[in-house]
Chains A and B, each alone.
Chain A
Amino acid sequence: MEKFKTVTSKAAPLDMPNVDTDQIIPKNFLKRVERTGFGQFLFNDWRFNDDGSENKSFVLNQPEHKGARILLARDNFGCGSSREHAPWALLDYGFQVIIAPSFADIFHNNCFQNGILPIRMPAEQVEELFQAVKKDAATEFTVDLEKKTITFAGKSLPFDLAEPMRQKLLLGLDDIGWTLQFDAEIAAHEKQVVAGIRVA
């Protein structure tokens, strides 16, 4: 996993609650056996018309939002299916930061496994970011994970993130490598407890 570095970019505003992972990556694209190449299918049913042409009214197809690496979203982003193809698609398309008032749990976890920073902020502050983009789509936002701040249009908002998660992204740490340091402790647990029942 790559180390997370400060991101400075425009932000694309996806103004709807409960965006589920079936929308982020529809199921007909889950049949690949690789982790890569999912970006072309991101939000497929919203991005493309039935004849395969671009749906001009969808936010990611509007020229002023192209190239954004930050996605603004509303409540409960990433709900539904556990498919990790959703963060794979977002990352492959170019999004490194997602900002929303709340995220679904599994999606939130999956982001950290892939170097995506999901930022939870109070709804009023997220609204402020939406307003800034509405006023000027070219507004640049700087997301600084060292300082835990988002800076835009001359102001700076702090955000909160659990320290182990912040470290994981900053160092690009692989969870499996971390856990394998505790091999002896895991083996000890296996000798003492089986299916929740203490045996030794």
Chain B
Amino acid sequence: MAKTLFEKVWDAHVVDIWSNPNAPKKEENKNLIYIDLHLVHEVTSPQAFDGLRLNKRKVRRPDLTFATMDHNVPTKDRDKPVKDPISAKQMEYLKRNCDEFGVPCFDLKSYNQGVVHVIGPELGLTLPGKTVVCGDSHTSTHGAFGALAFGIGTSEVEHVLATQCLVQSKAKTMRVNFKGKLNPGVYAKDMVLALIGKIGTAGATGFVLEYAGEAIEALSMEGRMTICNMSIEAGARAGMIAPDEKTFEYLKGREHAPKGAEWEKAVAYWRTLKTDAGAKFDVELDIDCNRLAPQVTWGTSPGMVVDVTANMPKLADAKDDVERVGIKKALEYMDFAEGTAIENIKLDKVFIGSCTNSRIEDLREAAKVIKNRKVAGSIKLAMVVPGSHRVKDQAEKEGLHEVFKSAGFEWREPGCSMCLAMNDDVLEPGERCASTSNRNFEGRQGKGGRTYLVSPAMAALAAIHGHFVDARKEV
């Protein structure tokens, strides 16, 4: 029978429990799924390790489990002790838990430390056909390699630590075909924001998305990760892209990727990981990339997004009362009148970073548009936070840090930083920030802060001009 990519990966991981008399009926949609890679970070794991201790349980496969610190690490003054005692305690707990249970931990002293969804692929831990989980919703990022990757809660973290499995119901499937070619100045971030704008933040709830089409094939691995990363913002359980030569090229020689004969065997298997002709999806939809414009969110949900050349919505445009209430509340929070032009939004801060857009290509695209230019005087802070030490070193080798610094950007150490502002990098109440991150929820970057989600090039240009401009006119 013709299968989708998702179904192939799913089927390879269902643990056959049905000869056991305690197994549920097969039609109950309760499956035990084996997990090949479990990534752990400091914020969603302490209670899980505690649960293990309480029940005298061990980590079943410490060799398939890797931990790092990213959510609340400081991005400067790393040589000094962490200022916030509670953050320091959480990091200390992670290290102690990992030591006790035999899990490798990339702490602040490690070269491998970085944003969990940046280092997984970099280390070759993320591979096509694997099941990958982490106590973080943006685990969907790893789907860019043809892995089935999704975020889980802390109880499930404990469950995977103890059993290396998860109890899951099978998701429905949706394929999004990105047709045509992106124009210069339009990027992967714009593709995924446009998708979320089209189907809404719950548009893919209960689905695993597969991204396909000419525009997806043309993307680098970094671009593909940006798209899969934001699958969760459309409500999807996971997003996947079939692996191809670019995928293999990216992975070859990485520390944990298979080597020699194992590599050949793996690639032969990975080549089978694509949706068969004739396989059925529950839903299919197309997005035309030829006409896609740079996207900017205007409100407090990633689905509240329009073209950079457009205006914020008017209350009368809402399709029903529930949507009208949502628009009204968002406009009030963002402090704008309905119908205001996006290009008129004056910004206070600019953040380039996060698991969505902190990889080398993101930094290259941003650096390219600001070379020999200066950050506008009205911008209080513009910062670049690379996703990992490898990204940082590569950027420095290419001289990108000098481009950023001479323009007036701060160049920081790797971490999640102002994407969720659990460390010192926060917005003050009322401040407006052009951000390459993934969520523009109320207070996400600091209480009262206002977030506008854009691509790295759009954020960099916004820093230069002090407001949004159409990247298509500047590249």
Q: Which residue of B lies closest to A110 (CB)?
A: B153
Residues from 178 to 227 in B contacting A, C-beta threshold 8 Å: 201-202, 205-206
Interface residues contributed by chain A, number (CB under 8 Å): 60
B155: A residues at CB distance < 8 A:
84, 110, 113-114, 175
A114: B residues at CB distance < 8 A:
155
Q: Which residue of B lies closest to A196 (CB)?
A: B129
Distance of A189 Cα from B447 Cα, bound (Å): 47
Query: Are B151 and A76 neighbours in the complex by a CB distance under 8 Å?
Result: no
Partner of A79 from the list B87, B235, B329 (CB cut-off 8 Å) is B235
Residues from 158 to 182 in A contacting B, C-beta threshold 8 Å: 162-164, 175-176, 178-182
Q: Is A157 an interface position by the 8 A CB rule?
A: no
Q: Is B425 an interface position by the 8 A CB rule?
A: no
Q: Is A64 an interface position by the 8 A CB rule?
A: no
Shortest beta-carbon distance, B376 to chain A, in Å? Answer: 29
Distance of A114 Cα from B159 Cα, bound (Å): 13
Query: Are B167 and A193 neighbours in the complex by a CB distance under 8 Å?
Result: no
Contact (A76, B44) CB under 8 Å given A22-B441, A162-B169: no
A16: B residues at CB distance < 8 A:
325-326, 329
Distance of A114 Cα from B135 Cα, bound (Å): 16
Query: Are B169 and A180 neighbours in the complex by a CB distance under 8 Å?
Result: no
Query: Are A179 and B159 neighbours in the complex by a CB distance under 8 Å?
Result: yes
Q: Is A109 an interface position by the 8 A CB rule?
A: yes
Q: Is A82 an interface position by the 8 A CB rule?
A: yes
Query: Are B202 and A79 neighbours in the complex by a CB distance under 8 Å?
Result: yes
Query: Are B129 and A195 neighbours in the complex by a CB distance under 8 Å?
Result: yes
A-B contact count (CB 8 A): 199
Query: Are B22 and A181 neighbours in the complex by a CB distance under 8 Å?
Result: yes
Residue-wise interface mask of A (185-196) relative to B, using a CB-CB cutoff of 8 A (1 in contact, 0 not): 110111001111
Contact (A76, B205) CB under 8 Å given A176-B55, A196-B9: yes
Partner of A109 from the list B12, B135, B156 (CB cut-off 8 Å) is B156
Partner of B32 from the list A28, A186, A196 (CB cut-off 8 Å) is A186
Contact (A195, B15) CB under 8 Å given A17-B326, A33-B47, A82-B151: no
B201: A residues at CB distance < 8 A:
18, 76, 79
Q: Is A74 an interface position by the 8 A CB rule?
A: yes
B17, B128, B420: which has the most chain A beta carbons within 10 Å?
B17
Residues from 74 to 114 in A contacting B, C-beta threshold 8 Å: 74-76, 79-85, 87, 102-106, 109-110, 113-114
Provide a sorted-by-A list of 20 A–B residue pairs whose CB atoms are within 8 angstroms: A16-B329, A17-B325, A20-B439, A32-B86, A50-B429, A76-B235, A79-B201, A102-B202, A103-B205, A106-B151, A110-B155, A176-B158, A176-B159, A176-B162, A182-B17, A185-B15, A185-B32, A189-B34, A193-B13, A196-B12
The 6 closest A-B pairs by CB, nearest first: A196-B129, A113-B155, A84-B153, A33-B46, A76-B202, A110-B153
Binding site for A on B (CB under 8 A): 9, 12-13, 15-17, 19-20, 22-24, 28-30, 32, 34, 36, 43-44, 46-47, 50, 55, 57, 60, 72, 86-87, 89-90, 93, 127-131, 135-137, 151-156, 158-159, 162-165, 167, 169, 201-202, 205-206, 232, 235, 237, 265-266, 269, 301, 303, 322-323, 325-326, 329, 420-422, 429, 439, 441-444, 447
Binding site for B on A (CB under 8 A): 15-18, 20, 22-23, 26-28, 30-35, 45, 50, 74-76, 79-85, 87, 102-106, 109-110, 113-114, 162-164, 175-176, 178-182, 184-186, 188-190, 193-198
